[in-house]
Structure 1
Amino acid sequence: MRIAQIAPLAECVPPKLYGGTERIVAYLTDELVRQGHEVTLFASGDSRTLAQLVPCSHVALRLNPQVRDPIPYHVMMLEQVRQRASEFDIMHFHIDMLHFPLVRECAGKTVTTLHGRLDLPDLVPFYRAFPEFPLVSISNDQRKPMPPVNWSGTVYHGLPADLLPFQPEAAGGYLAFLGRISPEKRPDRAIEIAARAGMTLKIAAKIDKADQAYWDETIAPLVARHDNVEFVGEINEAQKAQFLGNATALLFPIDWPEPFGLVMIEAMACGTPVIAFNCGSVPEVLDHGVSGFIVETIDEAVDSVHKARGMDRHLVRATFNARFTVERMARDYVALYERQFIGQPANGNVYIPRQYGLDLHA
């Protein structure tokens, strides 16, 4: 198939540091090329891809201090996509909603993956106004706040199998928190869990400008008061393998409707079990007692830390191999593309993950 992938311009594809959406676009795009498809990637000029790259900004917008407003750059990118629409069988958008008015005349040959939270009241009238666009969710839970829309399927994220090597032992003996410092990610819970479990906590996280006050006023003082807590800062992909692989467990103590939670499957790829609060996509991603523990309280999380020490890390990795590889993600998207391309109407069916057997020697 001739496929266009349209990425956000805030980060390059893949991002140098934090950036979940751009990372997934990178993995999906390259895997589609490997599977024999003709793929064109619309992204920032510093992106790296096996596909044909159409540079839509010189560098990632977050890295350009002269950029004040990202919208003009995205609109210019969409004009390029619109002019070339006839060249593609499917155009796969990863930029939320900006493209809807501009490519409405060819909505039937588009797929839009919604990567963010959908529980915002402003979104309901918008999606009602554009009912013809086929939408893809990244978890079933993500759909709950939405009005009836043209759901094409749910496709879980996937990673290259060799991206994060399996670590059979947690050599570091610490708990890990990886991602972003923000109130909904609850690093304060992670600090309390580690303190009560008597373990070191390493926090590798990005601090956005919007969350600087939360860091300064809430989290930084907690870090200063706890000798067992080490703030590592934002890390890259190479550092991530060691950071996650050497951890006894990843703490994912969220209290918001997380659409997917990429860090959970990154930890699983390393063989590191995940201890996560029962919110959003967590019950869809984790197999309780197999790849980690789903908890409701701090007490349960502390108890799970001790259980995690005895978990079979081969089984954690085997669960990743069975459910969350990029090959599986690409196949699922191709199935959606083909249905769209041949003109079958989307029926809103949820993608049901294939039954899987676990290879304990993977």
Structure 2
Amino acid sequence: MRIAQIAPLMESVPPKAYGGTERIVSYLTEELVRAGHDVTLFASADSRTRADLQPMCDVGLRLAPGPKDPIAYHMLMLEEVRNRADEFDIIHAHVDLLHYPLLREHSARCLTTMHGRLDLPLLARMHEIFDDFRLVSISEHQRGPIPDANWAGTVHHGLPLDLLRYAPRDDGYLAFLGRISPEKRPDRAIEIAVRAGAPLKIAAKVDPADVDYWEQKIRPLVEGAPQVEFVGEIDDRQKAAFLGGARALLFPIDWPEPFGLVMIEALACGTPVIAYDHGSVPEVIEDGVTGFLVNSIEEAVRRVDEVGALDRARIRRTFERRFSAARMASDYVAIYQGMRAQAKTPRIIAVNGHQNAVL
């Protein structure tokens, strides 16, 4: 198939450090190329891919110097896709809602993966208006706010099997990996570690929008807890050692998490996850097998003492079975094929009492 992948332009594909959506676009794109599909990737010029890269800006916009207008860059990219739409069997978008008005005449060949939360104002109304666009959810729970949207399927994220190496033994510390933001609850992670008497390493970026939260809420907690180390933002080369060395990943979220990529990154290393039972978490973590689902600080502290009994080799095997990039790509290809088959099926309409096939 001829497939266009439309990536966000805030980060390169894959991103230099933090960036979940761009990372998934990369893994999917490379698997599709490996499977023999003709893939065109619309992304920043500093992206790395075996697909046909169509550069839409010099570097990922988050790292670009000087003032920039992300909406303008994305609109120019989508206009390029619109002009070339007939070159593709499938146009797979990962840019939220931005492409709906520009690509509506090509909606039959468009698939949109919803990477974010769907309980925000006006999203339900938007999907009533643009109900001709097929959507993919990244967890069943994510669909909750708009259950009647035009869902084509649910595809859990996946990782290349050789991306993060398995670590049979840990170095005893707890890990927090992600963003410093209120919904990720690094404050809970710190409290869990302090009350459990365990060292904690925090590898996280601080977005400009969260600087006040970091300075006023989290930094004082880090500086007041001798066993807590703030590592900062890390890249893929550092991630394997960071997650593989952890006794457990703490994922104490306080929001309807659509998926939680860091959870399966930990599982790839054989590292169990102690996670609050919100959003997609129970779809990803098998309680008592790949980690523990908790609903309070007290419960999380108890699980820190019990997590060593979990089988790290079994956790890795579970990751390989459920969360490989090859499985993810296969799930998407099945949806692509269904879309093509549906597009080739004639619609039957009645004209003057006679049934007529309309392609």
Q: Which amino acid aligns with 2:29?
A: T
Deviation of 1:45 (Å): 0.5
Q: Which amino acid aligns with 1:32?
A: L
CA distance in 2, matches of 1:112, 1:47: 21
**Percent of aligned positions with the same letter in both sequences?**
64
State the SS of the aligned residue for 2:14: coil
Q: Which residue of 1 aligns with 2:76?
A: 76
State the SS of the aligned residue for 1:204: strand
CA contact (8 A) 1:128 1:147 kept: no
The unaligned stretches of length 5 or more in structure 1 are: 346-362
CA distance in 2, matches of 1:224, 1:67: 34
Deviation of 1:342 (Å): 1.2
Q: Which residue of 2 aligns with 1:354?
A: none
CA contact (8 A) 2:108 2:343 kept: no
Deviation of 1:69 (Å): 1.4
Alignment of 1:50-61 (within 5 A): 50-61=50-61
State the SS of the aligned residue for 2:177: strand
CA contact (8 A) 1:2 1:38 kept: yes
CA distance in 2, matches of 1:67, 1:267: 36
Q: Which residue of 1 aligns with 2:44?
A: 44
CA distance in 2, matches of 1:74, 1:63: 16
- Cα deviation 1:239-270 (Å, max 9, x = unaligned): 00000000000000001000000000000000
Alignment of 1:256-267 (within 5 A): 256-267=255-266
CA contact (8 A) 1:93 1:113 kept: yes
Q: Which amino acid aligns with 2:239?
A: K
State the SS of the aligned residue for 1:303: helix
Q: Which residue of 2 aligns with 1:273?
A: 272
CA distance in 2, matches of 1:134, 1:335: 14
- Cα deviation 1:97-151 (Å, max 9, x = unaligned): 0100001011010100000011112212111110100000000000101152100
State the SS of the aligned residue for 2:46: coil
CA distance in 1, matches of 2:116, 2:234: 22
CA contact (8 A) 2:250 2:275 kept: yes
Q: Which amino acid aligns with 2:65?
A: P
Matched, 1:332 2:345: no
Deviation of 1:68 (Å): 2.6
CA contact (8 A) 2:201 2:230 kept: yes
Deviation of 1:285 (Å): 0.3
CA distance in 2, matches of 1:268, 1:88: 35
CA distance in 1, matches of 2:137, 2:129: 18
Q: Which residue of 1 aligns with 2:225?
A: 226
Deviation of 1:32 (Å): 0.3
Deviation of 1:302 (Å): 0.7
Alignment of 1:279-298 (within 5 A): 279-298=278-297
TM-score, length-scaled by structure 2: 0.95
Deviation of 1:309 (Å): 1.4
Deviation of 1:55 (Å): 0.3
CA contact (8 A) 1:175 1:194 kept: yes
Matched, 1:242 2:244: no
CA distance in 2, matches of 1:344, 1:202: 51
RMSD between superposed Cα atoms in Å: 1.0
State the SS of the aligned residue for 2:152: strand
Q: Which residue of 2 aligns with 1:7?
A: 7
Deviation of 1:344 (Å): 6.4
- Cα deviation 1:29-70 (Å, max 9, x = unaligned): 000000110100000000000100000011111111224310
Q: Which residue of 2 aligns with 1:215?
A: 214
CA distance in 1, matches of 2:314, 2:306: 14
Q: Which amino acid aligns with 2:150?
A: N
Q: Which amino acid aligns with 2:35?
A: Q
Give the number of equivalent residue pairs: 344
CA distance in 2, matches of 1:212, 1:82: 38
- Cα deviation 1:303-332 (Å, max 9, x = unaligned): 111111121100110110110000000000
State the SS of the aligned residue for 2:13: coil
CA distance in 1, matches of 2:52, 2:188: 44
The unaligned stretches of length 5 or more in structure 2 are: 345-359
State the SS of the aligned residue for 1:139: coil
Q: Which residue of 2 aligns with 1:303?
A: 302
Q: Which residue of 1 aligns with 2:16?
A: 16
User: Displaced runs of 4+ in structure 1, greater than 6 A?
Assistant: none
TM-score, length-scaled by structure 1: 0.94
Q: Which amino acid aligns with 1:28?
A: L
CA contact (8 A) 1:61 1:67 kept: no
State the SS of the aligned residue for 1:202: strand
State the SS of the aligned residue for 2:202: strand
CA distance in 1, matches of 2:67, 2:160: 33
- Cα deviation 1:193-237 (Å, max 9, x = unaligned): 001111000000010011000000000000011001000000000
CA contact (8 A) 1:124 1:147 kept: no
CA distance in 2, matches of 1:58, 1:18: 19
CA distance in 2, matches of 1:86, 1:173: 55
Q: Which residue of 2 aligns with 1:125?
A: 125
